[in-house]
Structure 1
Amino acid sequence: MAKVELYTTAWCPFCIRAKRLLDSKSVSYEDTDVDRDPAQRQVMQQRGGAHTVPQIFINEHPIGGCDELYALERAGELDVLLGASE
């Protein structure tokens, strides 16, 4: 299975939707709350170049946010990235 990392906030509806999709696929992920650890927001921005949450990384590759995650799912590419097709 792929290494999945999310940078989120507890109150963000897009973060909740992204986690819900990953949970529905039984994907484990590392969730970093950038409100609880503001230094991690800088790390997130350096890694992915964006300042909005969620920021999602699969195997160190920046995917983008919730919209991009769902677009991958609709295109049938998310399972491949997650290694579910292996």
Structure 2
Amino acid sequence: MSAKVEIYTWSTCPFCIRAKGLLNQKNVDFVEYCIDGDRTGKEEMSARANGRTSVPQIFINDEHIGGCDDIYALERAGKLDSLLNS
């Protein structure tokens, strides 16, 4: 069973593009919430992300992972694959 992956993004954000690139490289299906100009979407993201307002914000199985740097840190530490396969 593969994990449920969700990512909040802005369409032109380089960090969002980089984070999605890593997920695509790993052939991970994910749900993207593009919140460009979407105040309600941004508020929802912030509530789920413990007050964070920057993008991307990434969730795996409803657990807040963090942003681009955080998902790459998990990858470097060898922990991302186990999260994605849970």
User: Which bin holds the TM-score, normalised by the shorter protein?
Assistant: over 0.9
Q: Secondary structure at the match of 2:58?
A: strand
State the alpha-carbon separation in 1 of the partners of residues 49 and 27 from structure 2.
24
State the alpha-carbon separation in 2 of the partners of residues 33 and 52 from structure 1.
13
CA displacement, residues 8-59 of structure 1 (integer Å, 9 cap, x when unaligned): 0001000000000000000000000111533110000000120000000000
Aligned pair count? 84
**Identity, % of aligned positions:** 54
State the alpha-carbon separation in 2 of the partners of residues 29 and 36 from structure 1.
21
Deviates more, 1:12-21 or 1:31-40: 31-40
Q: CA deviation at 1:79?
A: 0.2
TM-score, scaled to structure 2 = 0.94
Which 4+ runs in 1 deviate beyond 4 A?
none
Structure 1: which 5+ residue stretches go unaligned?
none
User: Is 2:75 aligned against 1:73?
Assistant: yes
TM-score, scaled to structure 1 = 0.94
How is 1:46-57 mapped onto 2 (pairs within 5 angstroms)?
A: 46-49=47-50, 50-57=52-59
Structure 2: which 5+ residue stretches go unaligned?
none
